[in-house]
Structure 1
Amino acid sequence: MQKIKLSKAQTAHIVSKIKAYFNDELHQERGGFEAEFLIDFFAQEIGPYFYNQGLTDAHTLFAEKSEELGYLIQELENPVN
């Protein structure tokens, strides 16, 4: 899996969310630098679980749609005498 690359805007948005969470829920202040380290940690340590779940979900959807497509193709068959 490749390392996740976030844009500066995405990083800034996530940093603000992390800082707000720590402040509101844990009553702790975190700086932007600390929040960026948390982003990197979560991406590296937890990200693969979410990535793998996304692949599993995509595979399940693909299998379902492939089965539907098979039925649709069968419906197009012409009767043979």
Structure 2
Amino acid sequence: MPIELPKEARQQAIASIERYFREHMDEPIGNVAAGGLLNFFLQEVGPSVYNRAVADAQERLLARVQELDIEVHEDEFGYWKTAGCGGRRST
């Protein structure tokens, strides 16, 4: 499944790559080259990041589901514990 960014996020990512090259590399990179580099990283590295994020989300959801019984547990057959001894006795 290819990873695609919304148009605005893609434009911001390309601008960020261009800025990184201006500030940290010997030569600046143009808009087209930055877009190509972004495509490469989305195809090559993106799936690893995506899969790790999905695994992290699964772990968190599993932990929450395992706590669900503690958070919403109700004691069964509790009427007599809370009603007291005011009931009628048969003889």
| Fold conserved between structures, TM > 0.5 | yes
Shift in Å, 1:79: 4.3
In 1, the alpha carbon distance for the partners of 2:17 and 2:59 equals 32
In 2, the alpha carbon distance for the partners of 1:70 and 1:38 equals 48
TM-score (normalizing by structure 2): 0.76
Structure (1 or 2) with the larger CA radius of gyration:
2
In 1, the alpha carbon distance for the partners of 2:47 and 2:3 equals 10
1:1-81 alignment runs, 5 A limit? 2-74=1-73, 76-79=74-77
TM-score (normalizing by structure 1): 0.85
The RMSD of aligned alpha carbons is 1.6
The residue type paired with residue 41 of structure 2 is F
Shift in Å, 1:72: 1.8
With 59-68 and 6-15 compared, the bigger mean Cα shift is at 6-15
Number of aligned residue pairs: give it. Answer: 79
More helix by share: 1
Q: Which runs of 5+ in 1 are unaligned?
A: none
Large movers: runs of 4+ above 4 Å: none
Do the aligned partners of residues 33 and 23 (structure 1) sit closer, same or farther apart at CA in structure 2, a change above 3 Å counting?
same
1:25-81 Cα distance to aligned partner (Å, 9 max, x none): 11321000000111110000000110111011011101110011121233x223457
